[in-house]
Homo-oligomer: A and B are copies of this chain.
Amino acid sequence: MIQSHICTIGDELLIGQITDSNAAFIAGELNKTGVMVTQIHSVGDRKEAIWKLLDESLQQADLLVLTGGLGPTRDDITKNTLAFYTGSSRFYRSEAQETHIVDIFEKRGRMLLEIDRKQADVPETCKVIENKLGTAPGMWFDYKGKVIVSLPGVPYEMEGIFPLVTQAIQHHFSTSLSPIIHQNIATFGIPESALAHKIADWERALPSELRLAYLPNPCSGVRLRLSCYDIQGGSQLIEQAINNLKPILGNSVYSLSDQSLAEVVGALLIQEEATVATAESCTGGKIAAMLTAQAGASAYYLGSILAYHNRIKEELLEVPADLLHQYGAVCSECVEAMAQGAKKRFGADFAVATSGIAGPSGGSLEKPVGTLWVAVATPQKCTAQKFVFSGNRLINIDRFAAAALNMLRLSILETTTYK
């Protein structure tokens, strides 16, 4: 199998200023292309560190994909280091990239500086991979029988270029690429150890060619992953395993195709030609943001009343003032009234409402931080459910929103006739 290392470059990674999302993206794309990633590294903007990494990785891997350090400012040294490493100090200007740079500046109505134009200069030892979304082009080096690819560090530019990298890899390595299959099974609502217990017999019966992994996430549930490297008939083995698993897990499985909870809910609503509205308190717009992050959400999503203040719950969602005074906002009565209020106000088929205590303050013995009430109104009924989580404010908000979306998902699945 063709093996690859990935290296992300930048002092900001080593001091924790940013989270490295590039490595995961590149690893996913390389896997799809049939390249196995065996190690990921991050080093700083230092010539010696990059040089040493090039030495070590090219000994172990056939391909090394680098990102970062291609910016126009003085702290960016990747391009010069690669030039020297590959044995050249001469640069040429890529006319194609220069055109993109001029275009970008014109579109944004900004003054073009010589420092920007110089971004189109690359070492004579490389081929240019054009970058239409930014100023720094990617570079492809054939070096002593190995390949080095250097890409800009800005994620959306790197992602925009990557299809060209994939093409070049397919062309260069062609028949050496191997099929790698990963099948994810996204579950919600069963903790990792209970899940392992529940599927123990199934796991024992898996064919030895399949590798199973558990990936728990407090917000998106436990994902199971079946992997299969470089064998014939792998996809049939996986299909059979999935078919055996389905009756064991039922509706706890929400996706077999890497969809998020929000994507699954969106697809269900489109399928049922139904609409949804939200009434959020403690989740503060998170559910709405998750739903509207999906392209085409306007087909089923009508809107939200974000009733952070109790007065808004009364005025816009018609939650009775008595109810709020008697029970407070964190109770089944309140979320049910909110869901019904939103359903009516927006004229939606479904509505989901949340009220809870995300923290860090506002908790009590009876209703500790982490308490959430969710209600879902369907065409037939309105039900509420209580959840108790433990986490900090941000984790709680994410878990609250996920629990609410999952309850909405189950309610849509239950509702077979409506409208």
Contacts and interface: CB of A to CB of B under 8 A. Distances in A.
Interface of A: 10-21, 23-31, 36-45, 49, 71-75, 107-108, 110-111, 113, 115-116, 133, 135, 154, 156, 180, 182, 184, 191-194, 196-197, 203, 211-218, 223, 225, 227, 278, 280, 284-289, 291-293, 295-298, 301-309, 312, 316, 345-346, 359-361, 388, 390-395, 397
B18 A133 contact: no
B292 A308 contact: yes
Given A40-B41, A214-B71, A312-B346, A293 B19 contact: no
Contact of A41 (B41, B45, B225, B289): B41
Given A39-B49, A303-B309, 15 more contacts: A16-B23, A16-B37, A17-B184, A18-B215, A20-B24, A38-B44, A72-B192, A73-B193, A74-B203, A75-B212, A284-B297, A292-B308, A295-B360, A303-B306, A309-B346
A280 B291 CA distance: 14
A302 B293 CA distance: 23
A193 B73 CA distance: 8
A375 to B, nearest CB: 18
B26 A16 contact: yes
A382 to B, nearest CB: 21
B306 A113 contact: no
A135 B197 CA distance: 16
B72 A193 contact: yes
Given A20-B24, A194-B111, A218 B156 contact: yes
Contact of A285 (B25, B304, B312, B346): B304
B288 A223 contact: no
A310 to B, nearest CB: 10
A308 B297 contact: yes
Nearest to A258: B17
Contacts of A28: 15-17
Nearest to A53: B39
A39 B43 contact: yes
24 contacts: A11-B227, A15-B37, A15-B227, A16-B26, A17-B28, A17-B223, A18-B24, A20-B40, A39-B49, A71-B214, A72-B196, A73-B193, A75-B213, A113-B193, A113-B197, A115-B197, A280-B285, A285-B306, A288-B306, A293-B394, A296-B361, A304-B304, A304-B305, A304-B306
A197 to B, nearest CB: 6
Nearest to A191: B110
B27 A14 contact: yes
Contacts of A41: 39-42
B295 A284 contact: no
A44 B3 CA distance: 13
Contacts of A307: 303
A195 to B, nearest CB: 9
B17 A13 contact: no
Contacts of A133: 390
Contacts of A213: 11-12, 45, 73, 75
B309 A302 contact: yes
A24 B19 contact: yes
B306 A305 contact: yes
A17 B225 contact: yes
Contacts of A191: 108, 110
A10 B214 CA distance: 10
Contacts of A26: 16
Nearest to A197: B113
Nearest to A37: B14
A168 B232 CA distance: 51
A-B pairs, 10 with minimum CB distance: A284-B292, A16-B28, A285-B288, A285-B285, A16-B27, A304-B306, A40-B42, A285-B289, A303-B308, A19-B24
B295 A359 contact: yes
Nearest to A196: B73
Contacts of A284: 288-289, 291-293, 297, 301
